[in-house]
Amino acid sequence: MNQYLQILEKIDLFGVQISVLTNKNQATFQSKVGGVISFILSSLSFSYLLIVLVQWINNEIPPNISSKQETKGYGEFQWSDPLIQLTLEDFTTDIDPFRKENNIITPLLFKLENFGIKEEPITLFSEEQYFSALFVNNGSLVLNNAYKQDENHQPLKEYLLVFAICTNSSLKNGGYCADEKTITEYLSTHHGFLVLTIRLNQFNYVQQKLDNFVKSYYQAFDPRKSSYSQVMLKQQETILDDGILFKNEKQYNFLNNYELTNQEVNSEFMRNTIAFISNKNPEYNISSSYLFRIDSISIKEEITMPKLGQVLAQIGSIVQLIFILKYVAIYYNNKLLENQLFKKILNKQFNQIELKEDLNQLKFPITNLQSIYITLLKRAKEKCRLNNILYEISRIQFILEQQFGNRILQSSHQLGRKFTKHINDIVSDKITESNRLVVWPADQINQEQEQDLILKEPLDLLIKQE
């Protein structure tokens, strides 16, 4: 057990400087309590370092994120997976009005280029595995309000989706309409909601990839009334800097949101609009229509992942807070060193203070002994100050000068022996060591004798030999 306690003393990081008035060889004074505190604080600091580094490697430390809204005059967006979905939630019947056979309502997708229609519409039908559902699987949209068409800039591209009452002239590729009675009965019946669902993205900085989510709008579906809806697709540009020491930027462009605005129009509005922008006269009975376009207002986001310097600074600041507790250990070590030094001073003056049997023989009450010890300790702390010590030394010097004169006092600074013919005797320890000083009359001392004095006479002046 003592071996482990000694190890704790050796790992004490908060040792205090030993007073110069002691005979200790160590540079600092260390204690077991300081070793325990050092071990705990070092363990906490190292554990925190590992935790932060693991979080940094796994991108779990929140990055610096700045985002702003900006207006742009040009933008492109392309997709190859199902992006736009419209699903009919019908509460009154199980008829699919969008199927290819016995079609009741025909979805027509027009491609607009610079507000003009140059191609025939694409007929969308529901699939067998997706009841009453329509998908726009691939396509591209272009926003161009500021540039002319060239190699770097495409013309404005939008999509117009209309729901028209089925006519055989509008169906192709083997499709045909339901009979007139079925169409009339369907149109006269109340139906539920037409759900517009668009797949959007958001950036996941932990995994550094785009996460998918959907946003849906529910609109009343009534084929007997005509409505016009505008869908504004909002883009986001995310710039990711994941460099460890220097910049390493990656760019991501995606749709992060969309807005839907609608209004009720007369039954001739959309048909006249299509006839005007296509220079044709289609015979469509259109109930609902959707215009898909890119919004000119976009979001620009900059994400800067924590760099190595920032992580180390964070670790250092927290470790500094943890090591505030070092002042507790330093205070404890100072007090312990001070008490040990003063206890030794008291033991030199009252060597019986450690002999419990002698104290018991004196038959003092324990409380009186404690008060006496505390009083002595207090007086020792008051006296053992540098100015008091210098004062006592000056008194001793004054006594020596009065008793022996300045010549003897000055010669005491040169005590020692020269290398003479008797050096072999000194090395072979034939001359016994002594701490006593020979006092000679001042008129009998010369410079050679000052170095060859044989120590015979005592000078008992507060000398304590260890």
Q: What residues form DSSP beta bridges with 257?
A: 234
CA gap 342, 271 in Å, rounded: 107
Parallel/antiparallel/unpaired status of strands 133-136 and 84-89: antiparallel
Cβ count near 400 (within 10 Å)? 16
Q: Assess contact for 453 and 438: CB atoms under 8 A.
A: yes
* Nearest alpha-carbon partner for 332 in 16, 93, 64, 7: 16
Q: What residues contact residue 182 under an 8 Å CB cut-off, 6+ apart?
A: 102, 104
- Please tell me the pTM assigned to this model: 0.62
Q: What is the 3-state secondary structure (H, E, C) of the chain?
A: CHHHHHHHHHCCCCCEECCCCCCCCCCEECCHHHHHHHHHHHHHHHHHHHHHHHHHHCCCCCCEEEEEEEECCEEEEEECCCCEEEEEECCCCCCCCCCCCCECEEEEEEEEECCEECCCCEECCCCCCCCCEEEECCEEEEEECCCCCCCCCCCCEEEEEEEEECCHHHCCCCCCECCHHHHHHHHCCCCCEEEEEEEEEEEECCCCEEEEEEEEEEEECCCCCEEEEEEEEEEEEEEEECCCCCCCEEEEEEEEEEEEEEEEECCCHHHHHHHHHHCCCCCCCEEEEEEEEECCEEEEEEEECCCHHHHHHHHHHHHHHHHHHHHHHHHHHHHHHHHHHHHHHHHHHCHHHHCHHHHHHHCCCHHHHHHHHHHHHHHHHHHCCHHHHHHHHHHHHHHHHHHHHHHHHHHHHHCCCCCCCCHHHHHCCCCCCCCCCCCCCHHHCCHHHHHCCCCCCCCCCCCCCC
Q: Assess contact for 320 and 41: CB atoms under 8 A.
A: no
Ranges of the chain with pLDDT below 70: 5, 8-31, 321, 324, 348-369, 385-387, 408-466
Specify the residue for token string 């997708």: 109
Look at residue 163 in the predicted model and tell me its pLDDT.
92
Specify the residue for token string 């070793």: 35
Task: Show me where the domains of the chain are located.
Answer: 1-61+309-349, 67-304, 402-451
* Nearest alpha-carbon partner for 202 in 160, 235, 178: 235
* Nearest alpha-carbon partner for 132 in 186, 78, 201, 213: 186
Q: Give the pair of three-digit tokens for residue 79.
A: 């997709």
Look at residue 450 in the predicted model and tell me its pLDDT.
47
**Amino acid identity, position 289:** S
Look at residue 84 in the predicted model and tell me its pLDDT.
93
Q: What residues form DSSP beta bridges with 303?
A: 65, 240
CA gap 80, 423 in Å, rounded: 104
The model's pLDDT over 170-226, given as tens digits with 9 standing for 90+, comes to 787 778 888 888 888 888 887 889 999 999 999 998 888 999 999 999 998 888 888
Look at residue 464 in the predicted model and tell me its pLDDT.
36
Parallel/antiparallel/unpaired status of strands 226-241 and 286-294: parallel
Look at residue 364 in the predicted model and tell me its pLDDT.
55
Specify the residue for token string 């038959």: 363
Q: Give the pair of three-digit tokens for residue 144.
A: 């161009």
* Nearest alpha-carbon partner for 80 in 29, 136, 19: 136
Q: Assess contact for 71 and 146: CB atoms under 8 A.
A: no
CA gap 105, 162 in Å, rounded: 10
* Nearest alpha-carbon partner for 451 in 466, 430, 426: 426
For the chain, the distance separating the N- and C-terminal CA atoms, rounded to the nearest angstrom, is: 29
Q: Assess contact for 288 and 165: CB atoms under 8 A.
A: no
The model's pLDDT over 114-138, given as tens digits with 9 standing for 90+, comes to 888 888 888 888 888 888 899 998 8
Parallel/antiparallel/unpaired status of strands 209-220 and 84-89: unpaired
435 to 410, 440, 458, 459: CA distances (angstroms): 17, 16, 8, 9
